């Protein structure tokens, strides 16, 4: 059990240190910060991967007919975050947030349906 906590601490430290180093390195580079179209396309690509992961997890649950070790809290949290990003995307006219939220939430809804389909006893 101690090892898992150490792994969590090392993971968090790696992300924080990496973020600090990257920000320090790029903080003065205006070309890096002004490449909005590039970042939007990258964001859409990454949201496609996240959505694919949720669709895949839902498919695995469907095939196994079991959601025993799958959390429903994480997809619900992601759904709420994506709803917030959708509204933010509309407000700021950011198509990458709008499209990403729609794609991810489609996968999340499919995933949640599969989780609840096999977790809630049928009458």
For the chain, which residues make up each domain, given as ranges?
Answer: 1-34, 35-123
Average pLDDT score, the chain: 91
According to the model, what pLDDT value does residue 1 have? 76
User: CA 9 to CA 62: how far, in whole Å?
Assistant: 34
Asked if residue 98 lies in contact with residue 46, where contact means CB atoms within 8 angstroms, the answer is: no
* Assigned token pair, 7: 């792994």
pLDDT digits (tens, 9 = 90+) for 12-59: 999 999 999 998 888 888 888 888 888 889 999 999 999 999 999 999
| Per-residue pLDDT band at 75 (split at 50, 70, 90) | very high
pTM, two decimal places: 0.79
Domain 35-123 falls in which CATH fold? Monooxygenase (1.20.1280)
pLDDT for 119 equals 85
d(CA 56, CA 49) in angstroms, rounded, equals 10
């Amino acid at each position: 059990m101690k090892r898992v906590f150490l792994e969590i601490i090392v993971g968090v430290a790696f992300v924080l240190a990496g973020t600090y180093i990257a920000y320090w390195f790029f903080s003065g580079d205006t070309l890096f910060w002004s490449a909005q179209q590039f970042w939007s396309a990258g964001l859409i690509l990454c949201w496609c991967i996240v959505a694919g992961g949720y669709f895949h997890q839902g498919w695995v649950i469907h095939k196994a007919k079991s959601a025993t070790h799958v959390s429903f809290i994480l997809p619900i949290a992601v759904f709420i975050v994506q709803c917030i990003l959708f509204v933010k995307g509309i407000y700021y006219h950011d198509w990458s947030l709008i499209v990403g939220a729609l794609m991810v939430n489609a996968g999340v809804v499919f995933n949640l349906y599969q989780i609840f389909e096999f977790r809630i006893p049928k009458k």
